[in-house]
Amino acid sequence: MKHEFADWPCSVARAAGVFGDSWTLLILRDAMYGLTRYDEFQRSLHIARNTLSDRLGKLVDAGVMTKRFYQDNPPRYEYLLTEMGRDFFPVLAAMLSWGDKWLDGGGGAPVTLCHHGDGHGIVGRVICEQCGDPVGHEDIRFCVGPGYPDDVPPELDMRTRLEPAPGAARGGEAAAGRARPAKPGRRAG
């Protein structure tokens, strides 16, 4: 993980420290396709060997992939997604959906995701974990989370841009003028 993002009180910044490189995302895409061996990644991506070695090493160090020995002479390893790496699938699916909508140049999706059992198409969606309703940007608030550190350097502190955690006492700069009214037929918060 990049040190400059590791200490930020923001999971987007922390994730960007792990996944914020184009090659890293493409390696993960190929790992989701089922590629595991160094030469497979190199052939698929036409990536410089030193760059591939660096990115695979960083993914292993971050816990996204694990390195497993599979051959003695010459020594060779395969790179397998860990649970952490497999949990990145919804992010890649969302990027695919966004790219299909906004970057296809009118030609349609170059790759689609199909549910293996029935062949139905898959779309990335954000849903409320409580009610199951789809959620859009207009439906959300950014709130202070339970893991927000108390000792954040002032230049990285985002609390003034966040609302209090749901159920916390409202007030202060963070809540002033930021509450969004609930949409008709939806629960607030």
pLDDT at 1: 45
Buried (b) or exposed (e) across 65-96, using 16+ Cβ within 10 A? beeeeeeeeeeebbbebeeebeebeeebbeeb
Whether residue 119 has pLDDT greater than 50: yes
- Residue-averaged pLDDT of the chain: 85
pLDDT at 185: 42
Whether residue 62 has pLDDT greater than 90: yes
pLDDT digits 0-9 by tens, 99-108: 988 998 888 8
Q: Domains, the chain, ranges and CATH?
A: 3-86 (1.10.10.10), 88-140 (no CATH), 142-173 (no CATH)
| Mean pLDDT of the 139-165 span | 89
* Percentage with pLDDT > 90 across the chain: 48
* Dihedral pair phi/psi, residue 30, rounded to 5°: -65, -35
pLDDT at 3: 52
pLDDT digits 0-9 by tens, 19-58: 889 999 999 999 999 999 999 999 999 999 999 999 999 9
pLDDT at 59: 97
User: Do residues 11 and 19 lie in contact, with contact meaning Cβ atoms separated by under 8 Å?
Assistant: no
Place of tokens 């779309």: 123
In terms of pLDDT, which residue wins out, 17 or 50?
50
pLDDT digits 0-9 by tens, 120-146: 888 878 899 999 999 988 998 889 898
- CA separation for the pair 147, 130 (Å, rounded): 21
Residue whose C-alpha is closest to residue 67's, from 51, 86, 80? 80
